[in-house]
Structure 1
Amino acid sequence: MSDLNSNRAFKEAVCIDAMRVFDSCSSQDCLEDLTLTFDEESQTVINEAQYIKAKCIEITGCSFVIDPVPFNRGFYTVDVTYSFRAEIEAYETVGEPPEVVYGTATADKRVILFGSDGSTQRFMSNSTAVAALPAPTSGCAACCDNGTLPVAGVSVAPPMCLDADLVIGTGEEPADNTVTVTIGIFAIIQLMRPVPILIPAYDYGVPESDCPTESDTPCELFAKIQFPTSEFFPQGLDSEQNCGCEKKTE
């Protein structure tokens, strides 16, 4: 498909509807001492643990809050909330196999980006309307000065667990132990709006190859898989490293 239509002449200019990125930024954040939340059963395991190790951390979700910046038309604050899920190995005694539990945590990130402005509402037959929210002004103009918010997006690399600590509960009454983790993340945050764009078109992308219809046996499919040579030989320091998700830290 990479060579499809590459040698064909320009045919016409067509208008498409696309999401234009008006502004973006990259971030390298070290989120220190995030407290993990456990369910009741997992919390009991943490309370009995003598030490813990963080085996893996992943991002399970992300939410946004977008607000216009007062007196700076076209700029918006973007509050990004990351949701994390951590796999924790809890050791009750030295030398015994650990018990694996899972905890969750959230972290916030705020940036200011340019997202342009618009005062129209967008209606489509296969979706709901994009609501126009009032701008943060006061007085009689507050009910009239409306603007459609841009769309925020974030691309995040796999998070890295930099540290994990078990904090023993103290006090006269029995207190729960807590687990804190330090997470490193790389992200790119964008503000976008749907816009009509005129682009050159060569032709429709009609596939030039047929889809095979024959069905292979399991052994024939297995024979087509390349032998995983790299899995049998350790990698050196100069080789490509893992994201750190499997690295155990105390």
Structure 2
Amino acid sequence: MKMADKCNCNNNAVKDKVCIHTDKVYDSCREKDCLEDLRVYLTRNAQEIADKAISVRIKGAEIVWVYSDVEPVAFNKGYYTVSVKYFFKITLELFTGCGRPTVVEGLATFDKKIILYGSEGNARIYTSAYRPNEQDVLESVKTNLPRSVVEVVDPVVLSAKLVEKEKCSSCCDIDITSVPGCICRCFDDDLVSSGDSKTVYVTIGIFTIIKLERSVQLMIPVYDFCIPEKECEGSTDEDPCNIFKNLCFPVEEFFPPM
């Protein structure tokens, strides 16, 4: 079904052309990354447990923040480098050899760079919000420079491992003090960069779409105003048993699809 049909619009003929201000996607790409052996920076208490653990299992991973930065490519007008840094909150189960595993959390990061086309132009945009009988509110100055948009779903957890400290390479370790405070506050204790004997590494998969957009003015065809015809329905005092009787029997809950 077309969008015009859903909105009950008359799409038989174009009635007018209007200029709108919107964001145009100049370039985009999609990525399917398998991130192998990401270092997990545990909280202080979790690292003490990891030093005594004999095995580890990854239980979950979520993205707490994605930072992106756009810079022009030298000697290649219209193209920009998009630097992306992902911050992951990793949930692990540590096995110490007795009793149930201990659930702990830590931070993992990943950096990548891509090049996208973002066109040319650099204009400053000044706007104000109208207020009747008062001085208008001046809004912050904007530009029409390209803006990066990163869309990503929660990671797919694949594996985790414990590595003895003497076998670890510290050349790619991050400085914990450089992690933004808003990220650190996602954990219930301070993060530490290393433990006495062991380090945790995980492998996860992520799906990402990265776009470069600019604010532009576009001419579009106009069919008509879209006025909703569906009436709003509120809650009813219908008998709850009658509502339940109208529900279909959940066959698939008892007999999973083949």
- Interval containing the TM-score (normalised by the shorter chain): 0.7 to 0.9
Q: 30, 37, 44: which one pairs with 2:34?
A: 30
Residue 43 of structure 1 corresponds to which residue in structure 2? 47
What is the match of residue 160 of structure 1? 156
Correspondence for 2:203 among 179, 182, 199: 182
Q: In 1, distance between residues paired with 2:40 and 2:230?
A: 52
Check the 8 A contact 1:66/1:149 in 2, yes or no: no
**Structure 1 partner of 2:95:** 91
2:100 is paired with a residue whose SS is coil
Q: Residue in 1 aligned with 2:108?
A: 105
Among candidates 15, 23, 30, match of residue 19 of structure 2: 15
Write out per-residue CA displacement over residues 90-141 of structure 1, whole angstroms, 9 at most, x where no aligned residue.
Answer: 11115x321111111110110011101112112233642126xxxxxxxxxx
Letter in 1 for 2:123: T
Contact conserved, 2:7 with 2:227, CA < 8 A, in 1? Answer: no
Partner residue in 2 for 1:80: 84
Range that drifts further, 212-221 or 116-125: 212-221
* Secondary structure, counterpart of 1:212 in structure 2: coil
Partner of 1:53: 57
Aligned to 1:242: none
| Match status 1:130 vs 2:142 | yes
Q: Residue 79 of structure 2 aligns to which amino acid in structure 1? A: F
Measure, in 1, the Cα distance between the counterparts of 2:215 and 2:197.
49
Letter in 2 for 1:104: L
- Structure-2-length-normalised TM-score: 0.75
What is the aligned partner in structure 2 of residue 201 from structure 1?
Answer: 222
Q: How far off its partner does 1:213 sit?
A: 2.4
Distance 1:181 1:33 in 2: 5
1:4 — aligned with what?
A: 8
Change in Cα spacing, 1:231 to 1:46, as seen in structure 2 (3 Å) is farther
Post-superposition offset of 1:72? 0.7
Alpha-carbon deviation of 1:216? 4.7
- Equivalent position to 1:214, from 223, 235, 243: 235
Unaligned runs of 5+ in 1: 132-147, 237-250
Secondary structure of 2:41's aligned partner: coil
Instruction: Give the aligned partner of residue 230 of structure 1.
Output: 252
**Once superposed, what is the RMSD of the aligned Cα atoms?**
2.6
Which AA in structure 1 matches 2:141? A
How many percent identity over aligned positions? 38
Report the alpha carbon displacement of residue 66 of structure 1 after superposing the two structures with TM.
0.8
**Does the C-alpha gap of structure 1 residues 59 and 227 become closer, same or farther in structure 2, counting only changes over 3 Å?**
farther
Given the two structures, how large is their TM-score scaled by the length of structure 1? 0.77
SS at match of 1:206: coil
Cα deviation code 1:189-239 (max 9, x no counterpart): 110101111111122221101111234579469736665443444455xxx
Q: Which stretch of structure 1 is more off in the superposition, 69-78 or 152-161?
A: 152-161
